[in-house]
């Protein structure tokens, strides 16, 4: 390649083609260790499988110490968690739209902890549990009120406004008498998720301090049992842009001090303190490689047409909320330090909405070049428009060091409902699988 040295990705592109996701499992393990080190001893970390349910990624995050558990929001994610070896009894089943059928399926597989968002949600859990003569633990998710003394001012705010997520804090007192009458459930704690991707450690600490105070106040005022307190997340990592995940050298000490003051028995597990993360644990472990199929210039604009767009990287860009702002030459004829010019990066789909980046400075790319999008280990294939136009799913390769652990492709074939691999008697949908064979270009 003129003007550049070969990279480790060149051989993978040659073997598997593009679009191609590459996951560095050593980086996944490093993110897990770093985040657990930043949290108090004994705290539980829930991995949100929505970020990346790839079995090797999930298995790496599970570990062997019991500190990382699975947070799931569907039966498909539940099956992915079980395939990765997570204990169903320790899974946290979340989401505002759980159906009685899927709750029943989760109970049949051993799930016992549900985060609930409304009176109707608790009732559905209760009906399914009572029908099976078991008791489900219900953690009440709270949509807390933001105040001027509240926490972080940046990131994606998840509470304090009308939302499908959680009980509004001010309405919880009126709902409690009915919640306590629901058969088949036991109220066991509180769940907060006020913020995603906090700006910095100071903001994150402030948000946790606000959340702990709100939790203690609610538990005391309403005489709520507090066996599990899930404080949510907010841990920051880049997405589709250069950079590294944030570090939190002071977070552990700050959290231990505030918990000692507010919940003096937390160190003995009363309550169990939990946190959640998805993007922080996986984003920096992924790289997306895309092939250039065409470069079109006209009417004052250059379009670089790639072989993957929002069908392979649509977690945020497809919603128009966040566009990747950086690509780097990979296997390209352009030197890495070549002059750049603005271009619009678009995908192959027959829709004008298939845009990955606008006015992005790129080198002079040519047909058959390959570009990389960094930090794409979260919200990749399973957060994209995979089935639109029926294009093949991207290949996914998991590496540990230089070794290939797996090379797979998601298979989203349509199957008859009467087929053996259709939904079972409990109505669980067939989870998206990854083919065992190495995909070919």
| Residue 95 CB neighbours (<10 A) | 20
Residue whose C-alpha is closest to residue 186's, from 141, 155, 150, 224 = 224
Contact 152, 243 (CB under 8 A): no
Is a pLDDT exceeding 50 seen at residue 425? no
Of 78, 164, 159, residue with least CA distance to 113: 78
Q: How far apart are CA 419 and CA 354, in angstroms?
A: 34
How would residue 317 be classed by pLDDT, with cut points 50, 70 and 90? low
Average pLDDT, stretch 21-26?
A: 98
Comparing 358 with 346, which gets the higher pLDDT?
Answer: 346
Higher pLDDT, 165 or 390: 390
- Tell me: cis bond preceding 79? Omega within 30 of 0 counts: no
Least confidently predicted of 2-6, 189-193, 284-288: 2-6
Up-side HSE of residue 177: CA atoms within 13 Å toward CB?
Answer: 1
pTM (2 decimals)? 0.89
User: How does residue 429 score in pLDDT terms, banded at 50, 70 and 90?
Assistant: very low
Question: pLDDT tier at 431 (50, 70, 90 boundaries)?
Answer: very low
Q: What's the pLDDT band for 146 if we cut at 50, 70, 90?
A: low
- The residues pairing with 341 across neighbouring beta strands, listed in sequence order, are 362
Of all residues in the chain, the percent with pLDDT exceeding 90 is 70
Q: How many residues belong to the chain?
A: 441
Please write the tens of the pLDDT for every residue from 150-176. 443 344 444 445 567 778 888 899 999
Tokens 């949510």 sit on residue: 232
The helix (H) or strand (E) run that includes residue 70 is strand 68-72
**Looking at 102-106, 109-113, 295-299, 325-329, which range is the least confident one?**
325-329
| pLDDT for the residue numbered 409 | 95
DSSP 273-324: EEEEESHHHHGGGEEEEEEEEEEEEETTEEEEEES-STTTS-SSGGGTS---
**How far is the CA of 67 from the CAs of 56, 87, 385, in angstroms?**
18, 12, 33
Average pLDDT, the chain: 87
Structure tokens at 346: 């678009």
Strands 272-277 and 286-298: unpaired
What are the tens digits of pLDDT across the range 404-424?
999 999 987 778 887 544 444
- At 441, the pLDDT band (50, 70, 90 cuts) reads very low
Q: What is the pLDDT of residues 75-119, one digit of tens each?
A: 999 999 999 999 999 999 999 999 999 999 999 999 999 999 999
Radius of gyration of the chain (CA): 23
Do 118 and 139 touch, CB atoms closer than 8 A?
no
- CA angle in degrees (0–180, nearest 5) for 233-75-95: 40
Give yes or no for residue 125 having a pLDDT over 60. yes
């Amino acid at each position: 390649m003129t003007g550049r040295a070969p990279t480790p990705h060149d051989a993978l592109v040659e073997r598997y083609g593009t679009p191609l996701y590459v996951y560095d499992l050593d980086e996944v393990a490093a993110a897990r260790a770093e985040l657990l080190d930043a949290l108090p001893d004994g705290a539980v970390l829930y991995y949100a499988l929505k970020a990346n349910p790839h079995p090797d990624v999930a298995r790496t995050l599970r570990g062997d110490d019991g500190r990382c558990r699975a947070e799931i929001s569907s039966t498909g994610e539940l099956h992915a968690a079980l395939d990765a070896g997570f204990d169903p009894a320790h899974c946290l089943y979340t989401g505002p739209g759980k159906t009685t059928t899927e709750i029943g399926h989760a109970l049949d597989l051993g799930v016992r902890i549900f985060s609930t968002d409304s009176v109707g949600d608790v009732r559905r859990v209760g009906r399914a549990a009572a029908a099976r003569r078991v008791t489900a633990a219900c953690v009440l998710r709270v949509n807390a009120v933001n105040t001027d003394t509240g926490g972080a001012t940046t990131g994606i705010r998840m509470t304090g406004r009308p939302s499908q997520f959680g009980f509004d804090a001010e309405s919880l007192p009126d709902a409690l008498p009915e919640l306590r009458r629901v058969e088949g459930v036991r109220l066991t704690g509180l769940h907060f998720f006020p913020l995603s991707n906090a700006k910095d450690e100071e903001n994150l600490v402030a948000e946790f301090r606000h959340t702990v105070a709100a939790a203690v106040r609610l538990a005391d005022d309403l005489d709520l049992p507090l066996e599990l307190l899930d404080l949510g997340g907010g841990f920051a990592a880049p997405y589709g842009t250069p950079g590294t995940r944030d570090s939190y050298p002071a977070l552990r000490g700050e959290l231990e001090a505030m918990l000692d003051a507010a919940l003096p028995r937390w160190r003995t597990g009363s309550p169990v303190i939990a946190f959640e993360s998805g993007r922080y644990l996986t984003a920096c472990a992924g790289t997306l490689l895309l092939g250039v199929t065409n470069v079109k210039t006209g009417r004052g604009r250059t379009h670089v047409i790639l072989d993957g767009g929002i069908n392979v990287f649509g977690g945020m860009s497809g919603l128009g909320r966040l566009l990747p702002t950086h690509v780097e030459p990979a296997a390209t004829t352009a030197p890495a330090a070549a002059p750049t010019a603005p271009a619009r990066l678009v995908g192959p789909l027959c829709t004008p909405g298939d845009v990955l980046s606008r006015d992005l400075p790129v080198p002079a790319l040519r047909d058959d070049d390959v570009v990389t999008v960094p930090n794409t280990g979260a919200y990749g294939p399973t957060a994209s428009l995979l089935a639109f136009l029926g294009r093949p799913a991207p290949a996914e390769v998991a590496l540990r060091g230089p070794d290939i652990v797996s090379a797979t492709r998601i298979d989203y074939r349509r199957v008859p409902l009467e087929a053996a691999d259709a939904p079972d008697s409990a109505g669980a949908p067939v989870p998206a699988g990854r083919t065992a064979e190495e995909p070919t270009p």
